[in-house]
Structure formats: structure tokens, C-alpha cells
């Protein structure tokens, strides 16, 4: 099981606004061991949030929201999450 998080809201805790957006994080949950593991791709760490997740055959599709860089889409092997490819999206 996978879930992604983050925030594109810039509320923060200071009076009068300010603050910063959250950061993208991707988690995997093992039902067998009942443990969570953070599996956020290094290419997505600066992005504010994970936007979409989908299983496509034997791949996990992950997309991020845009930040100061391009938003990204990645394909991860479900058999080995360290095996993946990432592409940037300028639009």
C-alpha cells in the first residue's frame, strides 16, 4: 500500500501569513510487517506535494506538484522501489 503527502498551502504559523509549503513525501506500508517506510524519490524532495499515485501493471506511477522546479512523474518497479525512472514536466 502506498500514500503520498505534502502541502501546497503556504500558511505557516506566523501572524499575517508567511510560512512555507510542506514537502513531498511518499510512504509504503507493509501489511506483512505492519510498518511504514519512506520511499520519497530524491528528485521529488524539493517539490511541495505528491499529486497522484496509480498502479499500472508492475509499476507505481507517482506525480508531484510543481515548485520552483518542474513537476515530475516517475515510474517505480513494484518489485524493487529503488529501480525507477523520472521525467520532468514543464506544463
What is the reported pLDDT for 68?
A: 73
> What string of pLDDT tens digits covers the 91 residues of the chain?
887 887 766 544 444 444 455 788 999 999 999 999 999 999 998 888 899 999 999 999 999 987 677 889 999 999 999 999 999 987 6
What is the reported pLDDT for 46?
A: 85
What is the reported pLDDT for 58?
A: 97
**Closest C-alpha among 84, 87, 90 to residue 26:** 84
Domain boundaries, the chain: 22-89
What is the reported pLDDT for 16?
A: 41
Amino acid at each position: 500500500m502506498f500514500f503520498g503527502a505534502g502541502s501546497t498551502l503556504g500558511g505557516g504559523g506566523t501572524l499575517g501569513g508567511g510560512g512555507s509549503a510542506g514537502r513531498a513525501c511518499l510512504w509504503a506500508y507493509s501489511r506483512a510487517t505492519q510498518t511504514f517506510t519512506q520511499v520519497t524519490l530524491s528528485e521529488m524532495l524539493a517539490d511541495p506535494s505528491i499529486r497522484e499515485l496509480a498502479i499500472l501493471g508492475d509499476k507505481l506511477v507517482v506525480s508531484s506538484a510543481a515548485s520552483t522546479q518542474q513537476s515530475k512523474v516517475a515510474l517505480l518497479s513494484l518489485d524493487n522501489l529503488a529501480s525507477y525512472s523520472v521525467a520532468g514536466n514543464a506544463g
